[in-house]
Structure 1
Amino acid sequence: MPGMPGMPGADTLPPPGISSYLNWHPEPFFLAATIVATGMYLFGVLRLRQRGDAWQISRTASFLAGMLIFLGITCTGLNEYGMYLFSAHMVQHMMLSMVDPLFLLLGAPITLALRVLHPAGPGRTGPREVLLALLHSRFAKVVSSPLFTLPLFVVSLYGLYFTSLFDFLMKSRVGHDFMLVHFLFVGLLFFWPVMGVDPAPHRSPFVIRILELFAVMPFHAFFGIAIMMSNSLFESVFANPPSSWGLTALSDQNTAGSIAWAFGEAPTIIVLLVLFVQWAKSDQREAKRKDRKADRDGDAELNEYNEYLAGLAQRNPGPAA
């Protein structure tokens, strides 16, 4: 089977490098998924424009960038070397769980679907009603809660690489592809309630979201450092790289650890910047909402507060001069 120690699959590949990683090598499942997802998104944008509704170009660009990243991770030589090199596999893991979800979520695909899909009508159930029911379901509330997403993110690191589960999944291409889907799924679930623009059943205040983001950083950093500094091999599946590649399994494992450690820093900074921008825009929207309310009711809230203060002054007059 490909990917097992001593098997000839790796010997058919040239030494790893940027050009080898970028070679076009489509995986049918991932290529089909990319085409379908991109086509559905662009169709939705086109439908909105035909109705005269606006859709932010930045959202479309972000989603397309996310799909391009997904294609580059799964349908190039990087996916081939991910079966034989720990460092290549770790690039796939980090990109799919820490980077690609940011672009996809900022594309707001759920919001787009809700705007494009028409209500089915009284007493009927259509795709829009099913999507809304799912968003409001108990299942969605559970999987979007930090009590679920934080442990899932941590277990996906330690429970996979520090047990025999990784070697078991790497026995076949199907197992490897399953891991890639899992990495993307975990990243989407974790970042959706934190910085996604789509509606979510559980969305904490901005301060709590920032704390959620920082909560996983120590676990992620320790994971990368543990792999980077180890003097023994974690995964037997990567134990025998071809001698023509000019590297050892231990040096490649150390590289994989440094990749994991580095990817914990940069995406966190990006998410923090996005959160601060969203926070500022939220405050601006709230201020505008209050201004519009004041214009409609003649600033009744302020007048009521002033009357309250005046009443207090009458009941508690100050000392006579």
Structure 2
Amino acid sequence: MDHSGHGMMPDLPPFTLGRGLEWSADPFFLIACLAGLGLYGWSVVRLRRRGDQWSTARTVSFAVGVLTIGLTMCTKLNDYGMVMFSVHMVQHMIISMLSPILLLLGAPMTLALRALPTAGKGRRGPRELLLALLHSRYMRVITHPAFTIPMFIASLYALYFTPLFDFLMGSQLGHIAMMVHFLMVGVVFFWPIIGVDPGPHRPGYLMRMLELFAGMPFHAFFGIALMMASEPMVKTFQHPAASLGIDALSDQGAAGGIAWGFSEVPSVLVLIALLFQWYGSEQRQARRKDRAADRDGDKELEAYNAYLASLSGRQG
């Protein structure tokens, strides 16, 4: 299937879910997905071989996250997404709001730091470089809410309501760049909120919830704007092929409904994950306090026994 531009796409039959899920791989995303799964699997095996444990739930989460990217970019959803606004919006929502959450819950950076060998004293290997990047000024900037929230919003309004979207959709390279951008914006937006990997910006749980809900209403407003428009707003999808059997304005309305409705899905998923993380954090703190109290109690008992021993010595 030729992705070199909207005008060069061959006619497609009317969209159905069955057709959309047929295999039609984008080579870039296919290689990236296989590489991601391979590196993650190698790291897990490396840990297990040396007797360390790694959460099965994290492995499953990361694998499903990669599979959602593969589903979005390596099936005919990608072909139909080049000519139908509604299908494109499904791609956008999955790759920017579902895939990042699943990938982040897989803790790939933590796994890499545990799997990579240390370079030795005074040397910098891959592990040391990764650790330096995670705590760099660059990461502090791109994971700060003053950057992540405006970027999350701009990825909708500044892209779709300017000629930039049509320019990017005009070539395969531009389309790949746009999808990678959607994925990375989702990662940096959700990382400070639910990411379990180490990072420079890690606010309290209440602030994380506020960050989450600060960005989501703009998705709803964007969807409503598309649904209420009286004419097609994106040139790429203005003149759908007759073989698709769709009306451009109706398809745009469907795209708006998808953008509006989909914003609720990650909100619920992230909120559930946050509540579990918060509960786990409170449990860990309680256990630490109990251990500290036990140690203090032991010290008090030892001091009391020493005091009794000293009294006994005096009496003797």
Residues of 1 paired with 2:298 and 2:143: CA distance?
A: 38
What is the deviation of 1:3? 3.9
**1:274 and 2:265 aligned:** no
TM (norm. structure 1) is 0.90
**Aligned residue in 1 for 2:52:** 53
What is the deviation of 1:33? 0.5
**1:291 and 2:293 aligned:** no
Residues of 2 paired with 1:265 and 1:61: CA distance?
A: 23
Taking the TM superposition and a 5 Å limit, the aligned residue runs for 1:223-234 are 223-234=222-233
Aligned-residue CA RMSD in angstroms? 1.4
**Aligned residue in 2 for 1:160:** 159
* Code of the aligned partner of 2:129: V
What is the deviation of 1:299? 8.1
Gaps of 5+ in 2: 301-316
CA offsets, 1:21-69, max 9 Å, x none?
A: 1010011111110111100000000001000101010010111101111
In structure 2, relative to structure 1, the CA distance for the partners of 1:237 and 1:276 (3 Å cut) is same
Residues of 1 paired with 2:192 and 2:210: CA distance?
A: 13
CA contact (8 A) 1:10 1:241 kept: no
What is the deviation of 1:200? 1.4
In structure 2, relative to structure 1, the CA distance for the partners of 1:25 and 1:287 (3 Å cut) is same
Residues of 2 paired with 1:8 and 1:141: CA distance?
A: 42
**Aligned residue in 2 for 1:317:** none
Residues of 1 paired with 2:83 and 2:222: CA distance?
A: 21
Residues of 2 paired with 1:81 and 1:19: CA distance?
A: 12
**Aligned residue in 2 for 1:306:** none
Residues of 1 paired with 2:4 and 2:294: CA distance?
A: 69
Taking the TM superposition and a 5 Å limit, the aligned residue runs for 1:1-321 are 2-4=4-6, 7=7, 9-11=9-11, 13-298=12-297
* Code of the aligned partner of 1:170: M
CA offsets, 1:260-308, max 9 Å, x none?
A: 001111110111111111111100100000111111122889xxxxxxx
Residues of 2 paired with 1:34 and 1:48: CA distance?
A: 21
SS in 2 for 1:222: helix
Same amino acid, percent of matched pairs: 57
In structure 2, relative to structure 1, the CA distance for the partners of 1:299 and 1:263 (3 Å cut) is farther
CA contact (8 A) 1:26 1:74 kept: yes
Residues of 2 paired with 1:3 and 1:195: CA distance?
A: 37
* Code of the aligned partner of 1:15: P
In structure 2, relative to structure 1, the CA distance for the partners of 1:300 and 1:150 (3 Å cut) is farther
CA offsets, 1:198-238, max 9 Å, x none?
A: 11110110000000011112211100110111111111111
SS in 2 for 1:298: helix
SS in 1 for 2:196: coil
* Code of the aligned partner of 1:19: G
Residues of 2 paired with 1:254 and 1:10: CA distance?
A: 24
**Aligned residue in 1 for 2:308:** none
* Code of the aligned partner of 1:143: I
What is the deviation of 1:10? 4.0
Residues of 1 paired with 2:206 and 2:287: CA distance?
A: 22
Gaps of 5+ in 1: 302-321
**Aligned residue in 2 for 1:318:** none
Query: After TM superposition, what 4+ stretches of structure 1 lie above 2 angstroms from structure 2?
Result: 1-4
**Aligned residue in 1 for 2:303:** none
Residues of 1 paired with 2:238 and 2:142: CA distance?
A: 36
CA contact (8 A) 1:2 1:83 kept: no
**Aligned residue in 1 for 2:313:** none
SS in 2 for 1:240: coil
What is the deviation of 1:118? 1.5
Residues of 1 paired with 2:224 and 2:41: CA distance?
A: 41
Moved more, 236-245 or 82-91: 236-245
SS in 2 for 1:198: coil
TM (norm. structure 2) is 0.92
* Code of the aligned partner of 2:258: I
Residues of 2 paired with 1:115 and 1:97: CA distance?
A: 27
Residues of 2 paired with 1:9 and 1:116: CA distance?
A: 44
